[in-house]
Homo-oligomer: A and B are copies of this chain.
Amino acid sequence: MNTENIKLFLSVVELGSFANAAKQFNIATSSVSRAINALEHEIGVQLFHRTTRKIALTQAGDKFHKNILPVQEAMDLTIAELVEDANLITGTLRIAASVSFGQAVLPKIVSAFTAVHSDLVIDLQLSDRRVDLIEEGIDVAIRHGKLEDSSLIARKLRNVRYHLVAAPEYLERAGIPKSISDLKAMDLMSFSYSSFARKWRFRQGNEMQEMSIMPKFLTSNAMMLKQCALNAMGIALLADWTLETELEKGNLVEVLPDWEVAGEDFETAIWIVYPSAQFVPSRTRAFVDFMVT
């Protein structure tokens, strides 16, 4: 069953002849004739009486017309609404992000974004596990570090640098490390992710060093890590975006500032990723564009 045929049928009824309907649809009259014939055979009911000069609805055709017209209109309307919806920035934008990033960075961004798109509902899912966008119906996710291969489309938001930091109070107590090896004796805190938990890398110009670490404290949550550093528990490896105000205020102090430090890879970044699709919802596109700029 073809809705084109039904539309053709409705047009024939409205215009009173196959020829007029053919003109309206810019097709040959023979196509109209065959379309109506096909319709009649599909449903097994004669819809028109015909002579070579005129047509007239049968009783069944008349009833069919009366009944199918609102249904066809409903179908058109449903599709039109859907298309309109797709081109509007409405509905619910589901964002997934790490707990830390969400708490630290997203509030400002999200509120600025919703101010522009008032019809949009934001559903922000904060979790430090790696979520499956497709399974959980997430539109966009913020990802850190290196991306695994996947069917997702990723755009880089910014590069990330890591720093070793500690509270002044701790450094007073434990001493300021002068070299990488000095760290061994100190209280180290890091992310529990495998790329951060057992080994750190250092770089100064062309010089590289690796150091196996025995952390005193591990967590998947950056804010937790920072809080521990602030509480003078030890030296923490933290991303730049978690630190800005704390370094300015002097609540935290950078340790070994001459060395770049990283977990596994120095080339880490924050990414915004979304499912690959032929038609990306406009809310997703809008949010991605907003984040990138």
User: In the assembled complex, which residues on chain B have CB atoms less than 8 Å from the CB atom of A137?
Assistant: 49, 56, 58-59
Are the C-beta atoms of B56 and A67 separated by less than 8 Å? no
Q: Nearest chain-B residue to A67 (Cβ)?
A: B78
Q: Mark A175-207, 1 if CB is under 8 A from B, else 0.
A: 000000000000000000000000000000000
Q: Mark A67-97, 1 if CB is under 8 A from B, else 0.
A: 1100110110011011101100001100000
Q: Nearest chain-B residue to A66 (Cβ)?
A: B78
A2 proximal to B (CB < 8 A): yes
Q: A3-B3, A280-B46 are in contact. Are A134 and B51 (CB under 8 A)?
A: yes
Q: How many residues on the A side are at the interface (Cβ–Cβ under 8 A)? A: 46
Residues in A14-54 with C-beta less than 8 Å from chain B: 40-41, 43-46, 49-51, 54
Are the C-beta atoms of A40 and B151 separated by less than 8 Å? no
A64 proximal to B (CB < 8 A): yes
Smallest distance from the beta carbon of A36 to chain B beta carbons, Å?
Answer: 11
Q: A75-B71, A134-B54, A137-B59 are in contact. Are A45 and B91 (CB under 8 A)?
A: no
User: In the assembled complex, which residues on chain B have CB atoms less than 8 Å from the CB atom of A151?
Assistant: 51
Are the C-beta atoms of B60 and A82 separated by less than 8 Å? yes
Which listed residue, B72, B78, B83, B92, touches A68 by the CB 8 Å rule?
B78
**13 interchain pairs, CB-CB under 8 A:** A2-B3, A40-B279, A41-B278, A45-B279, A51-B151, A56-B137, A59-B91, A59-B92, A60-B86, A64-B78, A71-B74, A71-B78, A75-B75
